[in-house]
């Protein structure tokens, strides 16, 4: 079986290549990748290469396939796993295996560490350890992109599960956000912030009574409010408010005033910016939990923290990096039940767009960039479909379909795109 894949050879050295996959062993599975959602983590791995903790030291000699937010369908199942999976099953993968025998040990992950599996490929071989760790997950919902986006959604699910609160006089930690509490999501209208809003207002087991989302980009705030409106949140008992802190003289005081001065029980930081971390610290209520969600690119990232409040007001900080397998299962179950993550997607492209997009991801505006790996198509914003449709009928039809779905990517658009000639160069 030949595959076409984007492989990492070294720092800033990505190559789109076609090569033969080996015959699968009895404990492996051959799979077709349909789509992959590009992630900042791939940008970091590309720029760090062999010093990245998940990338093998010998990547120059044994290149790895990048991409870890992917979905597709199984093609051939080795005999060891034929009791659990069958050809035609749709799947997603939890990339954080926590498996000690992978190429880089316990931090091994598809999309970083393996020669024959990663999301930016047409076909891959799923190694035994993925199944052995319960990380090959079936998806029974419509389409493919929701399953691809279940990985980023699992990251925000894991973050909210990782928060904790205490009982004075006791050493017990009560895991989770505070039910009926005040929550703030700072720098919260990027792709991952949107996923957090979507999850927070639609989960059924516990919810904040107030959710305040901040940013300094009014255009992105307006889009977030259109996608996840205060009216929708109110139907689920949540008072949702979008706030532009760029116009505030004293953001901490003004944001705390929205809680009558009490502060916030759960504060999530979605940008690795020291002033935002310090702002989050200032917003914490008694026993407030600060979750530093955003992963910094620099190993010496630091910010001030009020340790007087740590001692006397029980404030505390946690950090999460990715979700676990249970978080992925929760995400897939919510997708299968109808939770649509389409609001995260702003651009669509083919496998030929992966290298430039990954290398320049921080400078490309918008949300998630969704790649269909069997298609040749430049990275294209959904807002560009109308203009490009004047010269290409496929774009014109994509514009028509997305317009009928409130300007969002959707299952109908995906289905249409996947019926086009895979080698068509848009």
DSSP 30-67: EEEEEEEE--HHHHHHHHHGGGSTTS-TTTTTS-EE--
Q: Tell me the pLDDT of the chain averaged across its residues.
A: 94
**Confidence band (pLDDT; 50, 70, 90) for 281?**
very high
pLDDT, position 84 = 98
Is the pTM above the cut of 0.75? yes
pLDDT of residue 234: 97
Say what the pLDDT of residue 425 is. Answer: 57
pLDDT of residue 296: 87
Tens digit of each residue's pLDDT (9 = 90 or more) over 70-84: 999 999 999 999 999
Q: Is the pLDDT of residue 250 over 80?
A: yes
Residue 21, token pair as written in the block:
């996959």
Extract the tokens encoding 288.
């407030």
pLDDT for 424 equals: 52
Average pLDDT rounded to a whole number, residues 38-59? 94
Residue 30 has pLDDT above 80, yes or no: yes
Task: Look at residue 251 in the predicted model and tell me its pLDDT.
Answer: 97
The burial of 52, by beta-carbon neighbours within 10 Å (0-12 exposed, 13-18 middle, 19 or more buried), is given as buried
Inter-residue contact 273 to 251 (CB < 8 Å):
no
8 A C-beta contact, residue 287 and residue 315 = yes
Does the pLDDT of residue 243 top 70, yes or no?
yes
The three-class DSSP label of residue 224 is helix
134-163 pLDDT, tens digit each: 999 999 999 999 999 998 899 999 999 999
Rounded CA separation 267/177 (Å): 10
Of residues 101 and 231, the one with the higher pLDDT is 231
For 119-148, what is the mean pLDDT? Answer: 96
Q: Contact at 8 Å (CB) between 1 and 29?
A: no
Q: What is the mean pLDDT of residues 283-292?
A: 98
- Is residue 323 very low, low, confident or very high in pLDDT (cuts 50, 70, 90)? confident
pLDDT at 312: 96
Which of 258 and 105 is assigned the larger pLDDT? 258
Provide mean pLDDT across the span 9-23: 97
What pLDDT band is residue 298 in, cutting at 50, 70 and 90?
A: confident
The per-residue pLDDT for 422 is: 55
Report the alpha-carbon distance of residue 354 to residue 2 in Å, rounded: 19
Beta carbons within 8 Å of 323's beta carbon, 6+ residues apart: 94, 96, 151, 154, 155, 156, 157, 158, 159, 331
pLDDT > 70: percent of the chain:
99
Lowest mean pLDDT among 100-109, 340-349, 395-404: 100-109
Find the mean pLDDT for residues 22-41: 97
């Amino acid at each position: 079986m030949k595959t076409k894949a984007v492989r990492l050879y070294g720092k800033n050295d990505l190559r789109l290549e076609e090569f033969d996959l080996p015959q699968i062993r009895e404990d492996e599975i051959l799979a077709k990748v349909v789509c992959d959602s590009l992630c900042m983590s791939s940008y970091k791995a590309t720029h760090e290469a062999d010093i990245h903790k998940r990338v093998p030291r010998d990547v120059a000699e044994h290149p790895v396939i990048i991409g870890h937010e992917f979905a597709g369908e199984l093609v051939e199942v080795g005999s060891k796993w034929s009791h659990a999976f069958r050809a035609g099953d749709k799947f997603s993968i939890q990339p954080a295996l926590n498996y000690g025998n992978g190429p880089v040990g316990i931090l091994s992950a598809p999309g970083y560490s393996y020669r024959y599996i990663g999301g930016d490929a047409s076909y891959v071989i799923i190694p035994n350890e993925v199944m052995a760790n319960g990380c090959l997950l079936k998806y029974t919902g419509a389409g493919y992109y929701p399953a691809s986006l279940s990985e980023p959604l699992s990251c925000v699910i894991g973050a909210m599960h990782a928060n904790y609160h205490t009982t004075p006089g006791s050493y017990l930690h009560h895991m989770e956000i505070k039910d009926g509490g005040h929550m703030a999501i700072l720098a919260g209208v990027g792709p991952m912030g949107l996923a957090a809003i979507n999850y927070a207002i639609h989960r059924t087991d516990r919810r904040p009574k107030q959710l305040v989302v901040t940013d300094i980009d009014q255009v992105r705030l307006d889009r977030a409010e259109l996608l996840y409106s205060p009216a929708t949140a109110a139907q689920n008992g949540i008072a949702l408010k979008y706030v532009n802190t760029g116009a505030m003289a004293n953001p901490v005081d003004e944001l705390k005033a929205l809680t009558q001065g009490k502060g916030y029980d759960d504060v999530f930081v979605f940008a690795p910016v020291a002033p935002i971390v310090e702002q989050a610290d200032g917003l914490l209520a008694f026993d407030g939990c600060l979750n530093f969600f955003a992963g910094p690119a620099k190993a010496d990232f630091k910010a001030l923290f009020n340790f007087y409040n740590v001692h006397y007001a029980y404030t505390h900080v946690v950090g999460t990096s990715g979700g676990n397998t249970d978080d992925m299962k929760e995400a897939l179950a919510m997708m299968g039940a109808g939770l649509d993550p389409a609001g995260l997607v702003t651009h669509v492209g083919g496998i030929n767009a992966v290298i430039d997009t990954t290398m320049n991801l921080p400078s490309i505006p918008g949300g998630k960039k969704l790649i269909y790996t069997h298609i040749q198509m430049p990275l294209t914003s959904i807002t560009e479909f109308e203009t490009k449709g004047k010269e290409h009928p496929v774009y014109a039809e994509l514009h028509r379909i997305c317009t009928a779905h409130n300007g969002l990517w959707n299952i109908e658009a995906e289905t249409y795109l996947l019926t086009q000639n895979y080698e068509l160069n848009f």
